[in-house]
Amino acid sequence: MNKKLSLMMAAILAAGYSVTAEAGIYKVTAAGEVVSGQKYVVAVDKDNALSAEGAALSTKAFDPASNDFLWIVDGATTFKLKSVSNTGKFVTQDATTAALGENGTPAAAVFTEATRTSELKTGDATNTDFVLSSSPAFSTNGADAFLHIATTPLHAKTADGSYVYVTIDGKYAVNTSGTTVIYLDGTTVAMLGLQDKAKFTVTEDGVIMSATQTSNGITDIDNDAITLAAASIPAIEVDANNSTNVQVYKTVISTGVSSKVTDASTFALTSTAPSVVPQVPDGALAWTNGTTGVLYVTPSGDATAMNAVKADGTAAEATGVSNAALTIKLNNDGSYSLFNGVEQIKLATAVSFNIEKIAGTNGFTAKDADGKVLAITGTTLSWEKTDGSLTSAKSVAVLSFSKGTLQAISAADLAKIENGGITLTASYDNGKTDIKGNPFTGFLTVVDLGGNNFNLKSGKKFIIGRKDMIEGAGTVAWGFTTVEKLSDMKTGDLAVFTAQTYAGETTPSEVVLSLTGAGTVGYYKVPDAVYMGAGASPKTVTFSLGTGTLAKWQDVLQKGKFFTVEKISNYSADNAKAEGYLVATGKTNTTYGYNKTVRNVLEGEWALTLNDAKDKYVLTNRETPEVTFEFVGVNSLYTTTSEYTYVSGADKYIIAPVANHAATDGYKTLDQLEMQRFNIGSYAGVYDNTAWFTENHGEDKDAEYHVIGLNIDQEEGLIYEAIAHDQKRDKDHAVTDSIYVVSTIGYYNAAINNYDEVLDTLKVVSYTFKNQYNEPLYVKAADADFSKITYVSSAKDVTKATKFTLRLDTDNTLNLRPVDLDETTGYNTFDTSKDFNKAYAGSSLNKGLVSSTDLYEREENDRFVVAPLAYEMYRRLENAVPGTSLDTISIFREGNNKEVLFENGQFLGMNNQVQFPAIAPAMVVDSAYAPANTYRPQYMLMVEPNYVPAGKWCPEHGFNPGCSHEQDIEGYTEGRYLVNLKDTAIAWEDANKHGGINPYTNTEGYVKLAFVPAKHIKDTLIINSDNNKLTVNTAAFNEAKFAFRYVDATAKSFVIETADFNLTGKDAGKIKTTPGYLKWMNGVIVVVDNIKNADVYNMTEDYEGNPTANEGINASSVSVIAGNGVVTINGAAGKKVVISNVLGQTIANAVLSSDNATISAPAGVVVVAVEGEAAVKAIVK
């Protein structure tokens, strides 16, 4: 009987309880059940029992409430019967008479030992048999009285609404259905919803009934089970009077017949409901996402019944060295999955599962997507519902990771743990380290002898075992010492080791060493100390791999951080060496090394992640992700007292996070490109200066190209426009022009308590460069030496322009890295098969060639500068301040200040002011776009200026009328502004398909310019004639903006630069990518497309002339004067005159008979063409 049952019975008896009305009697059937000094009932049956009532013997029906029926057996062999209710009185015998008296005369009857388990008989010579059938007496035969045990219910009646639980051998009995009972641990009962089916009640008779199958009760009990039945349900009872009798009995209520339970030693009732208290095996490993080990599975109620999940996850198997190492990984939805190193596996039948950690332990339980709980029966795994429907005995499975069992490790694999060796820390008795004679400290080199055999070296010395070094060991043992070389060993010395690691650890954390020829390496305790030794039976030493505190990957990795890595090799040895920073040196997973300096930050910045098995750190270069490799093992990196400083094997590493990084790191970004122009030069020590890109025709081998040369005179340098290629994608239909390098960074995600990763993107902008002659830089196909960097002549297709990224080098210099943006989907990235070059400068000062070489090669001459111009390219008119003031100027031909620009018959012309003194050259400069930081300030030119101040306006009543309709208006400037007549020229061509001379272009097809009425309101110029709005406050040219590009900055001479347009074809009217320039041709100013053909001008600022119209200027012997509704032509007698409007429609066509002819014309712009003269434009009022 178990302890719980014994204590319960003792409590009942201690309370003074003897028997109750529900008690039965049980006939003694085994001699061992009769114990001297204990109380019994003497009876034939329940209705015929020996009573001492009234101090006399009688035969009566058994009354369990009366002590008169209780008799003490007095004697260990033969015995007497002593009355309980009559102290000192015995059953006495006088021949046939049985009486109650003292042990005197007559003497107490002495019953034979044999009668303990049969009819009572004495040793009397004649009347041996004790008879109770009528009245107590002795006889020569007919004995019918037996010893009985009085029984009483084991458990009291349960209160209404209360329940008890039946346990067998610590498991709960669960009445699943009918009379079926299964036995489960409390965790399984609780987790699978079987609590109700585990409930029982106790009746007032001590009958134990099922609470769910209410007609069923316990009819039998044995060591492993109870039996439920619906009929003849007995009371479950115990000895009512003898506390030392712990046997359980059952009494059928209807008959009163009692029988002893064969074995009820593990039977008990408890009021404690089943609850989730699973047992977890000792030594279960702490685990997290990515943990690899042997996955043990045990029943929730028995942590010693260990099995291991098989490699396919479908079942369990006995534990041993062959158990599979499984990896647990966190899924995006918070569930987990298992991997066997080759593929994902199912756990039982589930691909993924959720876990519930067991508080205070490293164990966990699992549920599938349907909420079923993983259970185990033997080695069978299954998913079970939690709705109480379980019908067969199973246990909730407790899962935990283990190192597994010990297995041999090869010398080669042992050496790989820490790059050629191992670092050991020896301890015993839960962390003690005071072991003498211990050479196994610090980094030890593993000398591979083949297979599992190896030598160990501490520094330059070999570790060997030497016999009988440990005095007092009490057994044959080898101590340890070191020798310079193995030939120094003495006879009997041993130097070959083997090792074992735990099967479940992918990266071992502990090792067990053995000295071949001696035995396991452990410790021996002698009277005064503990010594390291090897032999047959040393005590256990734990050899932990690594030194100090293992660096937690959760602390090493940082979210969103890149790292730099410095290495100090052999840090604790005499030959320690500072290797420098880890840098990428190529474009493969083997091209990396350590340099003392890092020229570009990206070379030395690394993304840090874990490998798939989560047992190695992986470094990936930020700029060239093709350079990626497994760095050191997670379990072989140890902390030091210095921040970000770690030890692995013989080497020390400083793995420091980059404090701040940006998407644009490592590459220069040019800004405000429309406002700037640049010189490009090579910076190198051979020049002690910068040598600038120039033309180098002397080295040109291809007529279509000009080879770049170098010159230290910056004024000789080419002037470049930079065009950025950084356009954004258009709804995923177009690839973005920028270059993206995406890095994956690992980190510990506290929200999911697991490893996680984030992405970080490096964005690089590429540029094309076009010189002042519209010739783009271009990397020509490779020749015998290098790829020449050339520039394409303007006649070539400009799409040949090479895109360069500006890779930062030391001292703010740059590597010019050409790239090929050829992605058609997704995004552009560096293609290392094509984009792994850089520009390289030759060494001759004036004729140096610029070629290309590998990105990490020839660092001596690979530094360049892209510098904004150090001087002004365009003349800035200081008196023309946007929104503040205008300036009056006069523009003249450089070298002859009398050759002035003026309005010649509404077109812009040029003539000699001495020859034609009536010319009015004054023009007003109105600032269009001239911020202080632009390289090219732009202006508008006009005549007849008028400033309209801010005020009120009414369409009906005019300015400031004071009426209710008036509205606020801003101030603005109006006048006749100089514009390119490209729209009028194109319109004339469209209206005159069958030929004729376009009056708005000259004979070479270049477009003319004219002054037209317009208003400059805020940032817009509005042309009055067609309400065309031109934006003027941007860096882009249009037909009304002009810039004065220096030819000689000292003399302030310039060419006039403006927009140039296509006049014909499908692009008619569209602005060209290159500007146009003003040139005088045949009496008028036109826009030409080549700066080399432009006229050179100068100007007088703050000119005192009056910018009025030139309505009566004689540009030749013929004059055209516009009046009110008429045009007057002088000096053209006998000549043909054609007057047309801006659409080319003829208004008048006549041969003049007078030198002063007046012809009627509608108001507006008209074109007057006099035979033999250039057509002029006039505005009729």
pLDDT attached to residue 629: 96
| Predicted confidence (pLDDT) at residue 956 exceeds the cutoff of 90 | no
> How buried is 219 (Cβ within 10 angstroms: 0-12 exposed, 13-18 middle, 19+ buried)?
buried
Q: Where are the beta strands (DSSP E) in 13-88?
A: 25-27, 39-45, 48-51, 58-60, 70-74, 80-83
- Structural contact between residues 131 and 142, judged by C-beta atoms closer than 8 angstroms: yes
Average pLDDT over residues 234-243: 93
**pLDDT over 50 at 253, yes or no:** yes
Place of tokens 């790989």: 416
CB atoms under 10 Å from CB of 222, counted, come to 15
Q: Give the rounded percent of residues in the chain with a pLDDT score beyond 90.
A: 55
Domain 1119-1180, CATH: 2.60.40
Q: Who wins on pLDDT, 814 or 1116? A: 814
Tell me: the pLDDT tens digits for 1094-1126?
A: 999 999 998 887 676 554 434 355 777 877 888
Residues 6+ apart with CB under 8 A from 400: 280, 281, 284, 285, 295, 296, 298, 361, 362, 363, 364
| CATH topology match: 406-545 vs 673-726+765-868 | yes
User: What pLDDT, on a 0 to 100 scale, did the predictor assign at position 1?
Assistant: 34
How far apart (Å, rounded) are the C-alpha atoms in residues 1115 and 1135?
17
Mean pLDDT for 657-671 is: 94
Residue range 875-895: mean pLDDT, rounded: 85
Domain ranges of the chain: 34-153, 292-402, 406-545, 553-657, 673-726+765-868, 887-1100, 1119-1180
- HEC per residue, 886-934: CEEEEEEECCEEEEEEEEECCEEEEEECCCCCCCCCCEEEEEEECCCCC
- Say how far apart CA 117 and CA 33 lie, in whole Å: 9
pLDDT at 200: 98
pLDDT at 954: 78
Top-level class of domain 406-545: mainly beta
pLDDT tens by residue, 989-1021: 888 888 788 999 998 999 999 999 999 988 999
421 Cα distance to chain centroid:
32
Rounded to whole angstroms, how far apart are CA atoms 616 and 173? Answer: 50
- Which of 214, 243, 320 minimizes the C-alpha distance to 37? 243
Q: Are 963 and 954 in contact (CB under 8 A)?
A: yes
Nearest to 513 by CA among 523, 502, 521, 501: 521
8-state DSSP, 795: T
Cβ-contact 634, 746 below 8 angstroms: no
Say if CB 734 and CB 711 are below 8 A apart.
no
| Residue 100 vs residues 52, 65, 113, 127: alpha-carbon distances, Å | 7, 21, 21, 17
- Residue 49, SS3? strand
Is the pLDDT assigned to residue 257 strictly greater than 90?
A: no
Long-range contacts of 810-816 (CB under 8 A, 24+ apart): 810/597, 810/599, 810/863, 811/683, 811/863, 812/865, 813/683, 813/863, 813/864, 813/865, 814/668, 814/863, 814/864, 814/865, 814/866, 815/600, 815/839, 815/855, 815/862, 815/863, 815/864, 816/680, 816/789, 816/864
Q: What is the pLDDT of residues 268-323, one digit of tens each?
A: 999 999 999 999 998 888 898 888 889 999 999 999 999 999 999 999 998 887 88
Considering the chain, what is the average pLDDT of its residues? 87
Instruction: Give kind and range of the element (H or E) at residue 871.
Output: none
Q: Classify burial at 693, counting beta carbons within 10 Å of its beta carbon; exposed 0-12, middle 13-18, buried 19 or more.
A: buried
In 1045-1078, which positions are buried (b, 16+ CB within 10 angstroms) versus exposed (e)? bbbeeeeebbbbbbbbbebeeeeeeebeebbbbb
Q: Is the pLDDT of residue 847 over 60?
A: no
The pTM of this model reads: 0.56
Separation of alpha carbons 945 and 972, rounded Å: 11
CA distance 750 to 748: 6
The residue-averaged pLDDT of 107-135 equals: 93
Q: What is the pLDDT of residue 687?
A: 59
865/863 Cα distance (integer angstroms): 7
In tens, the pLDDT along 45-104 reads 989 999 999 999 999 999 988 999 999 999 999 999 999 999 999 999 999 999 999 988
Measured CA to CA in angstroms, residue 410 lies from 20, 449, 464, 603, 613 at distances of 76, 10, 19, 37, 21
pLDDT digits (tens, 9 = 90+) for 1051-1089: 999 999 999 999 999 999 999 988 999 999 988 999 999
Residue 1127 has pLDDT above 70, yes or no: yes
Q: What share of the chain is helix, strand, coil (3-state, %, to 5)?
A: 5, 45, 50
Report the pLDDT averaged over residues 966-975: 85
Residue 374 scores a pLDDT above 80: yes
Q: Compute the distance between CA of residue 293 and CA of residue 56 in angstroms, rounded to an integer.
A: 80
What the block records as the tokens of 772 is 């002042």
Q: 57-61, 597-601, 746-750, 847-851 — which is least confidently predicted?
A: 847-851
Instruction: Say what the pLDDT of residue 224 is.
Output: 86
pLDDT-based confidence at residue 381 (cuts at 50, 70, 90)? very high
DSSP 208: E
Give the pLDDT mean for 917-944. Answer: 90
In 472-574, beta strands by DSSP E: 477-483, 497-502, 510-515, 519-526, 529-535, 542-545, 563-569
- For the chain, how many residues are written? 1181
Cβ(887)–Cβ(881) under 8 Å?
no
pLDDT 10s digits, 158-169: 999 999 999 999
- Tell me whether strands 577-584 and 592-595 are parallel, antiparallel or unpaired: antiparallel
CA angle 103, 105, 110 (to 5 degrees): 50
The residue with greater pLDDT, 598 or 8, is 598
What tokens were used for 820? 């090929």
CA distance 197 to 1162: 112
Where does the pLDDT of residue 549 fall: very low under 50, low under 70, confident under 90, or very high at 90 and above? confident
Q: Please report the pLDDT score of residue 60 as a whole number.
A: 95
Please state, in angstroms and rounded to a whole number, the distance separating the CA atoms of residues 283 and 362: 9
Contacts of 956 (CB under 8 A, 6+ apart): 963, 965
Give mean pLDDT, residues 511-538: 94
- Predicted confidence band of residue 604 (pLDDT cuts 50, 70, 90): very high
Please, are residues 497 and 453 in contact by the beta-carbon 8 Å criterion?
A: yes
CATH number attached to the domain at 34-153: 2.80.10.50
CATH level 2 (architecture), domain 887-1100? Trefoil (2.80)
CATH architecture of the domain formed by 673-726+765-868: Trefoil (2.80)
CATH class of 292-402: mainly beta
